[in-house]
Structure 1
């Protein structure tokens, strides 16, 4: 029987953050395939190559060079064929301006990067278990921020 994997992507310019995220994914007992990108330009190029497999969920850092997270989110949301992809902003920023901008541009979730590996693993595990088909219908500013 073929194993179904959850395809997810992390877009983050910080090499340590990508490494910790990848290690956390390996700790979780959910079959995943992780795509790693260093900036918005890389993920947009990947998404626009008509890939046979698109990520179901993208964790997107806000502060990156070349194309930042909000610009990338806006570009993703401008393409109808990418509407099925859920986007979780994954940032060190807890600024209300950043949170409001991410919500306005169509992100599905806002996650502030945790300060420990244990918390990171727990957060990723919980997010990967979300039933997005139900959560989208009830998305409000109140449940947009992961806590």
Structure 2
């Protein structure tokens, strides 16, 4: 099982990696720090896409909105489950990512315990649940 994380904050990447390792040591994590690197990696990868992509929004070179749009328009990538993983909890941003086709939205938790809980929650979904688009009221995952 492979997870992608795209986030330009090295501390957030380190905490995510540690939380994932503690809860799912059998999962492989690929980390990219900007949208350009993410899209290059996705277009170059073998036919088996990542199980899920955690995507930050505010990044240099190509932001998360642009990546989300490009992924959803690509026939080879459009079915990758995308979890928006952002410090924002702004309703307009949440609505925009929902309408662009993200599968779920998580505001970055402010503690390691909650981060681990958020990752465990997402990884508890079966592939059908992870791939379908939830109703808007179930789009934002709250782990507090």
Question: With structure 2 as the length reference, what TM-score do the two structures score?
Answer: 0.93
Give the aligned partner of residue 56 of structure 2.
Answer: 61
Closer, same or farther in 2 for the Cα pair 1:9/1:136, shift >3 Å?
closer
Give the aligned partner of residue 83 of structure 1.
Answer: 78
Give the aligned partner of residue 21 of structure 1.
Answer: 16
- Aligned to 1:48, the other structure's residue is in SS state helix
Question: With structure 1 as the length reference, what TM-score do the two structures score?
Answer: 0.91
- Within the alignment, does 1:38 sit opposite 2:64 as a pair? no
Q: Count residues in correspondence.
A: 142
Closer, same or farther in 2 for the Cα pair 1:30/1:38, shift >3 Å?
same
Flag structure 1 segments of 5+ consecutive residues without an equivalent: 1-5
| Residues in 2 aligned to 1:14 and 1:56: alpha-carbon distance in whole angstroms | 22
Give the aligned partner of residue 136 of structure 2.
Answer: 141
- Aligned to 2:96, the other structure's residue is in SS state helix
Flag structure 2 segments of 5+ consecutive residues without an equivalent: none
Query: How far 1:81 sits from its partner (Å)?
Result: 1.3
- Aligned to 1:80, the other structure's residue is in SS state coil
Structure 2 matches for 1:115-130, cutoff 5 A? 115-130=110-125
Q: Which 4+ runs in 1 deviate beyond 2 A? A: 50-54, 134-138
Give the aligned partner of residue 3 of structure 1.
Answer: none
What RMSD over aligned residues (CA atoms) do the two structures have, in Å?
1.4
Give the aligned partner of residue 69 of structure 2.
Answer: 74
CA contact under 8 A between 1:56 and 1:84: conserved in structure 2?
no
- Aligned to 2:19, the other structure's residue is in SS state helix
